[in-house]
Amino acid sequence: MNGGNFTCHIVSAENNIQLLIIMGSMIALLYIWLCSQSFHFYVAHLYAHFGYPSAQHIVGQRYLKGAGVLKDEKMAMHWFRKASQQDHPHASFNLAVGKLKNMTGSMTAGDVEMLLSVAARQGIQEAQELLENVIWTKSKLLPTKRRGSFYKH
């Protein structure tokens, strides 16, 4: 026999704090794993508010597709517009396509060409092809003028 010696473990406040931190971390990791789409959206949304054009484009894509957030084309165009104002090529392309699909009504045809030009200059092949189609279509829709009509006889 030990002679009645026994050890008593006293739980300190420091141990409780460490336990809470570990449990909180595990819950946060579980949330990230189970809800990665919405977690990614909220992180990108935070950076988008700080003005990062890539994050603004990602948030626009998330709203457009409804990934991690309710689908909202108006909000998608809002974030694409913010990113395109900083010359983000993919956002410029997506905003132009949104205008062509009537998702945003606050732009003119000249704005579409300008946005497609920004994207095409930065190497977006689809933007170059669409820009050529827009210019070709516009030239076919404009009324043709006869040369003789400009001169007085």
The total number of structural domains in the chain stands at 1
Residue with tokens 């189609």: 133
pLDDT at position 143 is 56
Q: Which domain holds residue 98?
A: 22-141
pLDDT at position 150 is 39
Coil, strand, or helix at residue 7?
A: coil
The CATH number given to whatever domain includes residue 89 is 1.25.40.10
Binned at pLDDT 50, 70 and 90, residue 126 comes out as very high
Percent with pLDDT over 70 in the chain: 83
Percent with pLDDT over 90 in the chain: 52
Q: Is residue 94 part of a domain?
A: yes
pLDDT for 144 beyond 90: no
Q: How far is 95 from 62, CA to CA, in rounded Å?
A: 14
Among candidate residues 153, 152, 78, 93, the one with its CA nearest the CA of residue 127 = 93
pLDDT at position 57 is 98
Average pLDDT score over the chain:
84
Question: What's the distance, CA 90 to chain centroid?
Answer: 9
Please give the residue that has the higher pLDDT: either 110 or 91. 91
Q: Is residue 9 part of a domain?
A: no
Q: Is residue 151 part of a domain?
A: no
Over range 129-134, report the average pLDDT. 90
Q: Is residue 34 part of a domain?
A: yes
Binned at pLDDT 50, 70 and 90, residue 140 comes out as confident
pLDDT tens column, 4-22: 666 666 667 788 899 999 9
Q: Is residue 8 part of a domain?
A: no
Q: Is residue 43 part of a domain?
A: yes
